[in-house]
Amino acid sequence: MKLNNQSNKLSLSGDKSIAIRALILCAHFKGNHKIYNFPKNEDVTATLNALSQIGLKYRHYKNYININSNDINFNETEIDCNESATAARLLTGYLSGLRIKTIIKGQKTLKNRPMDRIIDPLSSVGAKIKSKDNFIPIEINSSKNLTPINQELKLPSAQIKSALILYAISVKGESKITGLTNTRDHLERMLKYINYPIKINGNEIRILGDINTNKNLNIKLPGDISSASFLICAAILSTNSNLQIMNVCINKYRIGFVEVACKMGANIEIKNKRNINGESVGDIHVYNGSKLKGVNIDQSDIPNIIDEIPIISILALYADGKTTFNGVDELRVKESNRLQSIISNIKEMNGIAKENNNSLEIYGNNKLYNTTISSYGDHRIFMSFYIANKIINKNYKHQIHDTCYKKTFPTFIELVDKVIN
């Protein structure tokens, strides 16, 4: 696929965040289910494998995955979430509500991700959860004293919110979640789409649990907007590159990257907006000729771009002036300390970046040089700095041994190499 003064179209595998939530709902509602445009990255595969340990059966077809959840069991089990924090946190919530005695394990970077943000609220409603210093592995023990959730979220986290909702759907009574609920809302949208009794009023979520769970689900996944952000960045920074990414999730809590890129001067347009399975979907068009400038990003905007800060940092390297990300402490507890990872890689390329009072500052338009990427095992760090190096020299080759990008975007190298051509 060449990108010389012509528009190129591509589609992406289904959104990872939606896919993981869809799989857990398929396990919960007994029946035969289909998920279309199902992604096969490592995080989603870890979730699928974990649910198979409690009796979920599945079969892959060309355009969808078929799931049978009629034989879910409640036997003591042990599951491995590989490096997926989303799977580990959401399954901790769900399995606590089911009263299944479970040990949740993980590998590599997941062992360093804090789990107290899930353990504490679940423990407050009767869940019996053990862990060493609030890290993986987690031991969930059966509890007869589970009560509905009545929780005010103090941290803007979609993973915490989803874990509590997944707990709530299995526990008799009405649960209420308030506080900082204005984060990605894929689970709430799916529950509404299948007519589950969930009510949302402002920042208050009310949900009934332990109701009839016989239902066949058919879910069509939009393309992954987080994966799309890397290709959009590559097209923005490439000379004479026009790009169309079709059928992408444009949930209002997920398009922060596009909004920031446009604020910086990127020439992007979203067309053909529509609704599929309760989700907002559109076609993203990236046009050449963008002139980027540095911007100041407010702390209130950080939760909705937290995963995209590494790739926005690459745009900042090629922008006039300074770009500031305010309130980025959450970057320290991702797959790597992303604040440190971003700064060290930029400095290795002869760029200028620094931390200043819990803010990240990046100064653009310096002379940059190719370097070996220090990914720290972090997929988003690797993909961001691969693009940065590829823009400097389109013949740049990555370290073959570093395949951490397969965690969420296994076709990343292939697609980026086509965009930057």
How far apart, in whole angstroms, are the C-alpha atoms of residue 213 and residue 169?
10
Treating both helix axes as pointing N-terminal to C-terminal, what angle do 338-348 and 379-392 enclose, rounded to 10 degrees? Answer: 20
Reply yes or no on whether 307 is catalytic.
yes
Residues in the chain: 421
> Which amino acid is present at 380?
R
How far apart, in whole angstroms, are the C-alpha atoms of residue 252 and residue 248?
12
Contact indicator for 66, 34 with CB cutoff of 8 Å: yes
The catalytic residue among 15, 224, 307, 378 is 307
Instruction: Report the relative pairing of strands 32-36 and 64-68 from DSSP bridges.
Output: antiparallel
List, by residue number, the catalytic residues: 307
